[in-house]
Every structure is written in structure tokens, then in C-alpha cells.
Structure 1
Amino acid sequence: MAETCNDGQEEQSVGTVTLETPNLRQELAKDLSPPTFPEGGLQAWATVAGAFLVQFCGFGYTTSFGVYQDFYTRVYLTQSSSSAISWIGSINAFLVISGGLVSGHFYDRGHFYPLLYGGCLLLCFSLFMLSLCQPEKLYQIFLAQGLGAGIAAGTVYIPSVAVVSHYFQKRRALAMSIVASGSSLGAVIHPIMLNNTFHSRLGFANSVRASAGLVSGLLLIACLLMRPRLPPAQTQPPFWKSLRRFARDKAYILATLGMSTFTVGFYFPLFYLQLDAITHGINQTLSFYSLVIMNASSFVGRLSPGFFARKLGIINMVAAASGCGAVLILCMIALKSTASVIVIGVLYGYCAGVFVTLMAPLLAILTEDLSELGLRMGVSFAVVGIGGLVGPPINGALLTGHFVWWRPALFSGVRGLRIMFGVEDLRVGNAI
């Protein structure tokens, strides 16, 4: 028993109602089809530019902590040990990376704008509060720079990287390389600005305020440029159910463990190269620019995967970058001259840039469903962030107040070499 409507576009049967219209069928087909990617365009590249600026101000400021480590140790927090001071930078780095566990979860649910605006406001506020911190007040600096700035940068880190995948598929590695290079450029500009203002008539407070003003202006531009394109998934699996599914993905687990192992030693040159050079009697001007040299090289390294990753393979480039980086950390045992500072800075900066850039693309190509990319990145980076949390304080404890440099260099270099086993397992497993 069925009666047909006059327009012939709807059917009604006893007990059920079924609507079939041409427009409905088109919408259903559109929903079920995979998303298309423009691979460019004004909004796509504007989003890349905005994400670049977010990385410049967020992770770029974190990787500039070597300037603060040196200044705090020798001038501003002389009553605190190197290990205690390094907790400021390590907590900041941990929160930047591991904050993605929360921000990635909310990003997948379509809360991009609250994460972006809230994180940017908190970062600006935290840096201005840092300018009010008093000498020898470690807890004040820890709250403002370690916790406040770390939470803020962690809030925007994953969303700013993941949103680029809305516009690119074939050129995703290139786009993400450009975005990742923002942190390296930031780690060039921030140390130059801070080193030249800390030791001038401005002093610590006004120097940090000037830096905070620069960051605030750039983040405002970033907020105006960035736009998500794809809608969030209609349904999201429960968080713990997703974790159990991720735990059965062997390639994902190996990639995460490998990256976290290398990260234990990754920050040693970034945090301690400038202090290492100064305590070895290297010219002070060159010592101040040692981080600039390293991060300028890192800028080039972060751009490289965009051009070579498809040809050489992401796994091969991760293995080469991490292996060479670990060897260069071991070479810091022999750092005693100007030439050694420059060589280690240039080579390690390049390797570190390649490694950091390929973290997100490695996880992206291991993700079949882009609707859970934010969460997968967040979970993986949370584990990776643990390495950045424990590495610098251990290095500071091994360094001691007598500056025994071979101990932290040996520890960090050996830990870095262990990633080779995870990468080899990943390759053997034919994950990619």
C-alpha cells in the first residue's frame, strides 16, 4: 500500500516515510565522497602565512630559551642551579608539545577559533607578566614563562599545523615545511633581539616588554589570516576508545616512541650551546650569536623536506637527521674553539630543523582519517613532550655548578642514537 505524491519526487509507505529527491541524493553523495583539496589559492596560502607567524611566536620563542638560560644562570637567577633554571624551559617545551593532547582533541571538534584566539591572548599576557618578574624570584619566572607561555603556545601549536591539511594533500609536506620554518626564523630573530637588549640600558623588564609587543602584533596578524576550510566530523569516537585504537597501530607507536627518545637529548644544544661557548672562553659576541647561527641553519633545514621528502622518503630523512644530530651532540664534548661552535651550530641546526619539520608529516601520512588527525598528533606529541620535559633538567644536573660538559653531552648523544632502532623497525614493518 503506497501512494505517490503528485510531483513524483517523494514516496510514502505504510509505517515508514522515505524521501528521495535529486537534491537529497546529491547531498548524500557529496557527504560520502572524500574531500578535495585546492592545493593552493589565496586563502590557503594566507592560512599558511598565519600558521607560520604562530610558530614564529610560539615554538620559536620556546627554542630561544638558550638566551634566557644563559642570562638567568649568570645574571638574573644566580642563586639557582642550572638544573633548576632549565625546568623553566623544559616545562615550557613540554607544554607546547604535549598541550596538543587537549588542543588537538578540541580542534577535531571544530573549536579552532577559541583555541587560536585564547592561546594568542594568553601568550601575550604571559610575556608581559614575565617583564614584571623580579631578580632571584625563580617561582615568578616559572609561572609566567614556564607555565603561562607554555600552556598558551601549546594551545595553538597543533591547530596551527593541522589546519594546513585542510588545503593541501599532494603539497602538504611543502606547506607544513613552510609553517615549521616559522619557529626557526623566530629562534633567529628572538635571540638577536633579546641578547642585544638584555645587555643594554633597557634592562630585563623593558627588553621583555619590547619582545612581548612584537609577539602581540604578529599574533594579531596571524589571527586575521587563518581560516579552517573543512567542517568537523559529525560524530567523534570516545577519547579512550580512540586511544585503544591508536595503541594497536604498530607504525604509529614506533614513530611516537622513536621521536620521544630523540627528544630527550634534542634540547641540549638549544638550551646550553650559548652557555657552553661562554664558559669555554669563546668571544662573547660570537657566543651570543651561536644560537642565531644554529637556528638560521635550522630555518634552512625546515624548508628542505618540502623539496626532498617525496623523493628521499620521510622515514629515510628522519633517520638521517636524527642520527647525524645525535653524533653532533656527542661532538659537543670537544667544543673548545670558535670553529667548533660554528660547525656544530650549523650542522646540528640543519639536522634539528629537518627532524622537527618531519614530525607532523610523518604522523599525517600515518593517519587515514583526517578527522582524527588533531587527536593523533596530540597524543603522539604528548609522549614526545615527555622527552623535552626530562632532558634539560637531567642535563643541568649532570653539568653541575662546575660545568662538566662531557657528561650531559654523552647522555644526550647516546639517547639520541636510540631512535635509529625505532626507525629501523618502522622501515622493516613497511609502515609507509
Structure 2
Amino acid sequence: MDHIDLPVITTGDSDKPISSEECPSDYFPDGGFRAWATAFGGFLVQFCTYGYTISFGVYQDFYGRIYITNQSPSTIAWIGSVNAFLFEICGLISGQLYDRGYVRQLVIGASLLQVISLFMLSLAKPDQYYQESICRSFYGLVFLSQGIGSGCAAGLLYIPSMAVVSQYFRKRRELVMTFVASGACLGAVVHPIMLNNTLNGPIGFANGVRASAALISGLLLIACFLIKPRFPPSKASTTFLVTAKKCAHDSAYIWGTAGLTIFAVGFYYPLFYLQLDSAMQGLSKTFSFYSLVIMNTSSFVGQLTSGLLVEYFGVPGVLTVSTFAGTVLLFSLIGLRTLASVVVIGILYGYSAGIFQALWAPVLAVLSPDPSDLGYALNVYNSGPPISGALLTGDYIWWRGAVFNGIVGAIGCSCFIAMQIILRRRDHVSQ
């Protein structure tokens, strides 16, 4: 039975609506057409936004070798890094707007921004990182459209597309949210295949980006029709300072968020540079194009299977192990030379990265003192790719990036180990 327009549930001594976390379990349909339609809409949003963000490795390779050859790898990496940064920091805005009931407005408005940004990207000309015809101080069309416009759109869409699912599901919530999040990994498989075959094919950059934008336009249009909120707007409000004060007294939360923040610096390095690294090592053009697809396909599998692992080992434990494996594989990029090494590292790192992508939001939901604070918790910062680009230099000294990101990953993993120790002690005390 579908539940669309439901009366507001109130507490016994107040007319104040209670949140979805406080509702009785039988108040959630946990299925039905409207519930699964909303979940599928969220899946499409993830496919078109975060899936596109983590496909930037295609653009990093194309820009560096063909389209923006007058800029360093570090400068080009800022496009994707700012996109990833805004993807996450815009959660501060979208979380508040979501709580106030602007779900439909967020989904429609941000979808429109994503489409416009990609069509604007198709207008960029070779070597125009800066739009000097407007003003030297303005960033170029590529940076504005792909870095800022698309990044903001993806960030504004992420939290609503994930959080609205929790209004329909309780018993299956983790499983369904994993399904929704897996849309990003599927997008990270489809987008590189499409982009590599269009940007480097006969139709060229402009028409290739337009074809990609057209696909995203159609899918986001479907998502706009499917995603519908179920609960009335929350009257409770929170601020960043209030959330920070609450979390400052929770040592597990501090270590967990520190781990996410630090590990995220190194996390994007293979996603941005594996394809370019493969090409620069002299591997075939066709194989280098599909190196990113291999990694993202494995990431998709990792994201889908993470739910099964969590059932047995818990979210914090699985996340800690995946970051340890990811750290080892970041260091192993030093030895990337042959086709076999690209395949092995791509598969293994992709799988661990998929688990990390699937669980970084759920682990904050586990650690957050109040579910209403989750919108603020879902924000980590990405300075890693530009730093890696600066270390590579124009001579592409690959071991520097591998060592730097491996060390950063090790520090992040250490934070997760500390978090896990604290959580185990709490469980032992509570028993």
C-alpha cells in the first residue's frame, strides 16, 4: 500500500510534528509503487551527478593531452576537485532546504543547473581555461561550467535524493540507500565509455559533451517526476554551530569525520589519474580508455556487496578494512607499469573504493548524535587531486603522487582504527 499524503503525527503533549526517525515502524510502507519510484528516482540522480563527478578522469586525460595543453596537470585537476568540493559542501545548503520541505524545488532546480552547465561546457574552445574575452580575473568557461556549475548542481541534489528515501523505508533502509548510492557507480561505468568514445571519436568534444548532456537531461527529467517527499517539512531546525558543539564531545565522531576528511584527499587520486597514467605508460589507447571503466565496474560491485558485508561486520568495521586496503593499493600505484598491473590495481582499488563510497554516509549516520545533523556531517573536502597534480609536475613523476596519497590514506585509515577501538569499548561497557 502506497502512502503519499499522510496526516502529521504528533506527540501526546504537543502538536509539533515528529520526524521520520520518531515514527512507529508500521508507519513506513517499506515498499509499494511510490516508495520504489522515489528510490529509482534517487538512483537516477546519483547516476547523473556523483557518477559524472567521479568520471572526471576521462576529462583529466583528454584536457591534459589534447584540449587544455597550455595548463599543468595540477591546474586541470582543480576543475574536477572544485566540482567534488562543491558537491559535498553544497550539502550544507541542501540539507537545510530539505528539512524545510523544498525537496521538489531542489530536485528540479538543481537538475536544470546540471543540464545547463554541461551544455555550456560544450561551448568551450581548446586551451580556453580562462575566458580572457570577458575578463582576465574570471575563470574560464570550462572551470565555471564543469567545476562550479556542475559541482553545485550535484551537491544540491545529493542529500535530497538520498534522504527522501528514508521517508518510505525503515526495515530495508540501509539496503535501499545502498541501491540508490549504487547509481553513482553505474554512472561511473557508463559515462567514461560514452565520453571516451565521443570526445576522442569523430564527433569531437562539443558534440560529445552535448550527447552526454542530452542523456543526463532525459534521466533527470524522469527523476523529477519520480521523486516525491512523503512527510511534511520539519519544524525543527539546526545550525552548523549547534551540530559542531554536539559532535565536539563525541570522540568516535571526531575520529570518524577526521578519517573521512583525510582519506578523501587521497581517495580521488586513482579516479582522476589512472587513465592518464595508463596512457603515459605507453599502454594502448583503447586499453587506457577502459582502465577507468575496469576500476569503476569493480567499484559498482563493491558498492552492491557492501550491504551484505555490513550485515555481518557492521558499518564502521567494513569501512575501516576498506580504507586499509585502499591505502595499500594507493602505495602500489608506484609499480604501475604494465597492462596486468593496471587491471589488478583497477579491480582491487575499485572494489575498496566502492565500499568507501557506499559507507561514508552511513557511518556518519551511525556516529551522528542526532539524525537531523546528518546534512552537516556529509561534507568533507577535496584538495587531493590538485596537490597530486602539482607533485606530478609537467614531467609526470608518478611515484610522487602515489607516495603522497598513500601516506594520506594511511593517516585517514589510522583515524578509522581509533574510531573502531572507541566504538568497541562503548559496546563492551554497555554490555
Aligned to 1:393: 386
Q: For residues 179-233 of structure 1, what are the alpha-carbon distances to aligned partners after superposition, in whole Å with 9 as ceiling and x for unaligned?
A: 1111111011111011011122211000000000000000000111112222232
Answering whether residue 96 of structure 2 is matched by residue 105 of structure 1, we say yes
Answering whether residue 404 of structure 2 is matched by residue 403 of structure 1, we say no
Aligned to 2:413: 420
Distance in 2 (alpha carbons) for counterparts of 1:351 and 1:215: 27
Equivalences for 1:7-86 in 2 at 5 Å? 34-36=23-25, 37-86=28-77
Matched to 2:99, the amino acid is D
Question: How many percent identity over aligned positions?
Answer: 52
User: What is the CA distance between 1:112 and its match in structure 2?
Assistant: 1.0
Distance in 2 (alpha carbons) for counterparts of 1:102 and 1:82: 31
Equivalences for 1:201-280 in 2 at 5 Å? 201-280=202-281
Answering whether residue 374 of structure 2 is matched by residue 377 of structure 1, we say yes
SS at match of 1:289: helix
Matched to 2:375, the amino acid is G
Residue 237 to residue 99, structure 1, CA distance change in 2 (3 Å)? closer
User: What is the CA distance between 1:35 and its match in structure 2?
Assistant: 4.1
User: What is the CA distance between 1:249 and its match in structure 2?
Assistant: 3.0
Distance in 2 (alpha carbons) for counterparts of 1:31 and 1:74: 56
Distance in 2 (alpha carbons) for counterparts of 1:25 and 1:227: 25
Cα pair 1:325 1:416 within 8 Å, conserved? yes
Question: How does the TM-score come out when normalised to structure 1?
Answer: 0.89
Q: For residues 62-121 of structure 1, what are the alpha-carbon distances to aligned partners after superposition, in whole Å with 9 as ceiling and x for unaligned?
A: 001000000000000001000000000000011111211111121112111111111100
Distance in 2 (alpha carbons) for counterparts of 1:54 and 1:279: 33
Cα pair 1:127 1:145 within 8 Å, conserved? yes
Residue 41 to residue 367, structure 1, CA distance change in 2 (3 Å)? farther
SS at match of 1:418: helix
Aligned to 2:180: 179
Distance in 2 (alpha carbons) for counterparts of 1:102 and 1:75: 36
- Match 2:119 to one of 117, 128, 131: 128
User: What is the CA distance between 1:377 and its match in structure 2?
Assistant: 3.2
Q: For residues 261-305 of structure 1, what are the alpha-carbon distances to aligned partners after superposition, in whole Å with 9 as ceiling and x for unaligned?
A: 111100110000001001101111110000000101111111112
Q: Could you tell which deviates more after superposition, 102-111 or 396-405?
A: 102-111
SS at match of 1:329: helix
Aligned to 1:93: 84
Distance in 2 (alpha carbons) for counterparts of 1:368 and 1:218: 35
Question: How does the TM-score come out when normalised to structure 2?
Answer: 0.89
Aligned to 1:5: none
Aligned to 1:15: none
Cα pair 1:329 1:409 within 8 Å, conserved? yes
SS at match of 2:337: coil
Distance in 2 (alpha carbons) for counterparts of 1:27 and 1:48: 34
Residue 140 to residue 25, structure 1, CA distance change in 2 (3 Å)? closer
Distance in 1 (alpha carbons) for counterparts of 2:198 and 2:235: 50
Residue 124 to residue 26, structure 1, CA distance change in 2 (3 Å)? same
Distance in 2 (alpha carbons) for counterparts of 1:56 and 1:214: 11
Which 4+ residue blocks in structure 1 deviate beyond 4 angstroms? 23-33
Distance in 2 (alpha carbons) for counterparts of 1:407 and 1:26: 62
Distance in 2 (alpha carbons) for counterparts of 1:310 and 1:160: 24
Distance in 1 (alpha carbons) for counterparts of 2:239 and 2:11: 30
Cα pair 1:173 1:305 within 8 Å, conserved? no
Cα pair 1:258 1:423 within 8 Å, conserved? yes
Cα pair 2:247 2:369 within 8 Å, conserved? no
Q: Give the greater-gyration-radius structure (CA).
A: 1
Give the paired residue count.
Answer: 402
Q: Could you tell which deviates more after superposition, 418-427 or 327-336?
A: 418-427
Distance in 2 (alpha carbons) for counterparts of 1:343 and 1:24: 55
Distance in 1 (alpha carbons) for counterparts of 2:399 and 2:194: 30
Cα pair 1:299 1:353 within 8 Å, conserved? yes
Distance in 1 (alpha carbons) for counterparts of 2:387 and 2:370: 38
SS at match of 2:378: helix
Distance in 1 (alpha carbons) for counterparts of 2:164 and 2:13: 24
Residue 336 to residue 239, structure 1, CA distance change in 2 (3 Å)? closer
SS at match of 1:429: helix
User: What is the CA distance between 1:169 and its match in structure 2?
Assistant: 2.5
User: What is the CA distance between 1:28 and its match in structure 2?
Assistant: 5.9
Structure 2 regions of 5+ residues with no counterpart?
A: 1-8, 130-139
Structure 1 regions of 5+ residues with no counterpart?
A: 1-22
User: What is the CA distance between 1:30 and its match in structure 2?
Assistant: 10
User: What is the CA distance between 1:239 and its match in structure 2?
Assistant: 4.5
Distance in 2 (alpha carbons) for counterparts of 1:238 and 1:182: 30
Distance in 2 (alpha carbons) for counterparts of 1:340 and 1:394: 24
Cα pair 1:100 1:377 within 8 Å, conserved? no
Answering whether residue 160 of structure 2 is matched by residue 159 of structure 1, we say yes
User: What is the CA distance between 1:378 and its match in structure 2?
Assistant: 3.3
